[in-house]
Amino acid sequence: MATGEKKRGQILVISGPAGSGKGTTVAEILRLYPEEFVLSVSCTTRAPRDGEIDGVHYRFITAEEFDRRIEEDNFLEYARYCNDNNYGTPRDFVEKELNRGKNVILEIDVKGGMQVKAKMPGTVLIMVAPPDLPTLEKRLRGRGTESEEEILKRLARGRQELEQMDLYDYVVTLPEGDVTSPAVRIREIMRAESCRVVKNADFRARFYGEKAE
Ligand code: 5GP
């Protein structure tokens, strides 16, 4: 990094089961630190729902454009779901924001997180976990919007997601009634990550020269 130049941002993958508080945590990070973080806007082939705005909630694209982007390796990760709805994280958007010095948040599942990690070394992976499984169940039931069958399905999926925690770098919990501390903690993690020697190769070269291993 030359003096005065803005340091490139980092990719932050945030995963966690429904009811973990992942969405709330991401919203709080963006509210507290709008200068440092930006949320990646995914591409999707599904139709917009009422109130959804192109470029804000998703970039709504055709199936043909989706396939073209895959061919051009323009997705850092993508998923095709059974009802033929496709979702992908666009590389161009992420690159642009990283170059502006922003940390780019990807709110995706573990499978997607692993794809991004493989393509983008230096990605930071954080799992947002509930304090325990009974709390997760209580939160899912507390929403009061889903059927018993849907709740049990989400719980099973949530447990599966949490069992993959070992693949992640950090785990953060959202305590009852406190949305701020996990957001502050995650920002601290990102600040520490940015000080890793491997992420400061240019700075290191000032002392060891370009040829140093
Ligand atoms: P919805 O259609 O309800 O907005 O999202 C359906 C599912 O797609 C959710 O589980 C959501 O997390 C997932 N999803 C949204 N964007 C992406 C993306 O960019 N990549 C992947 N892998 N999944 C996504």
Q: Where do the domains of the chain lie?
A: 11-40+102-211
Cβ count within 10 A of residue 70: 14
pLDDT digits 0-9 by tens, 141-159: 987 778 899 899 999 999 9
> Which protein residue has the closest C-alpha to ligand 1 atom 14?
87
Q: Decide: 79 in ligand 1 pocket, CB within 6 A.
A: yes
CA 129, 131, 140: angle at the middle one, nearest 5? Answer: 75
pTM score of the predicted model: 0.90
What are the φ and ψ backbone dihedral angles of 5, each rounded to 5 degrees?
-80, 145
Rounded to whole angstroms, the Cα distance separating 129 from 132 reads 8
Is the minimum distance from the CB of 103 to ligand 1 under 6 angstroms?
no
Q: Tell me, using a 6 A CB cutoff, whether residue 88 lines ligand 1.
A: yes
Low-confidence ranges of the chain (pLDDT < 50): 1-3
Name the residue of 14, 108, 150 whose CB sits within 8 Å of the most ligand 1 atoms, as the mutation to test its pocket: 108
Q: Which two tokens stand for residue 206?
A: 């000032």
Ligand 1 atom at minimum distance from 112 CA = 22
The pLDDT of residue 106: 97
Q: Which two tokens stand for residue 25?
A: 């945590």
pLDDT given at position 100? 97
CA of 70 to the centre of ligand 1 (A): 17
The pLDDT of residue 29 is 98
Ligand 1, atom 15: closest residue by C-alpha: 87
Q: Could you name the CATH architecture of 11-40+102-211?
A: 3-Layer(aba) Sandwich (3.40)
